[in-house]
Structure 1
């Protein structure tokens, strides 16, 4: 996020909270979205990576919940810790028994 964007958000919004990854969440004081709701934003601690927004905050940022879910709520047995998007990395998912071989050759037009 550009430094100007983060400064603008801090000057025009109120800080609502922070998650364990370091993302901070903001709600605009005056600015409204198309539906008349206050604009909600995220400032990421590093590169902009929306996949780091945990479910506790995802519902709030998308106006599904009024308040973020408690971060210390007990987890269900099927819930897993958040992992970033690993597409394009050696840790990316691949079908069972097939490891990423690295021999992928991108399609080139005109071949």
Structure 2
């Protein structure tokens, strides 16, 4: 609509990607720094929360980029794959925690 602003299209895509990446680094680093202050039994759940936060940030940063028309296939696919990978890892960690919880519960039940 404004031809004089057309040269800003490519730098805007780059800076949106940099801003989304910085936000991801800050959130993930903040959650990992909190590990030292919580009991060891909660660390796996913190990992799950961190991966879920990463997936939410990937999806959340992907939506505005596409809505503004800056969604190049490489950017959209990379964020989508990162979100999918973190969701798969989250499900795997939750499944592992669930199995450990069931095993502990079974041991307690048979010990009585």
The two structures have a TM-score, normalised by structure 2, of: 0.23
Higher RCO (C-alpha under 8 Å, 6+ residues apart): 2
Quick check: which has more Rg, 1 or 2? 2
The two structures have a TM-score, normalised by structure 1, of: 0.23
